[in-house]
Amino acid sequence: MRAFNRYLLMVLSVTALLGCASKPQPSIYQALGEKQGIESITDSFIKQIAKDEAIFPYFAKSSVSHFRQGFITHLCAATGGPCEYEGDSMVDIHTGMNINEADFNRVVELLIIALEENDVDYPTQNRLLKMLAPMRPQVMGI
């Protein structure tokens, strides 16, 4: 009987692990709440930028509505959503801005705050940041 109980426990454990492993992970787009979630995150991000004395000057001459729509479309497309980003490249957008490392890192912090304000869980935040990280050289110091 003890052997049977161990066997049953082992089968249930393996089944539970396989069940967890077989569940497909939602796309980042889905995990962010799809387009509505991305719009809300973007609005929070814009508010964070507007309040930040170090970062706001980079955006002072920008059209808020143009930035908002471009950021939403870019995030939607980059995270697996149905959008198609047709805006300027990251290099074209950031050339001449001479964004330093401290300010780049601060913008990332502001994005994280916006994600937290929208109840995006840490695993999804990490997946998003990992996806965005390769764009760093296209934004900084150019």
Q: Show pLDDT as tens, one digit a residue, over the chain (142 residues).
A: 554 444 544 544 545 555 555 678 999 999 999 999 999 999 999 999 999 999 999 999 999 999 999 999 999 999 999 999 999 999 999 999 999 999 999 999 999 999 999 999 999 999 999 999 999 999 998 8
Domain boundaries, the chain: 26-139
In eight-state DSSP terms, residue 113 is: H
Distances (CA, A) of 32 to 70, 111, 127: 17, 13, 11
**Global pTM value:** 0.82
Question: Domain 26-139's class?
Answer: mainly alpha
Quote the pLDDT of residue 141. 81
Residue with tokens 């330093």: 100
Which tokens belong to 60?
């002072």
Whole-angstrom distance, CA of residue 42 vs CA of residue 27: 18
Quote the pLDDT of residue 67. 97
Q: Half-sphere exposure (CA, 13 Å, Cβ side) for 130?
A: 7
Quote the pLDDT of residue 8. 42
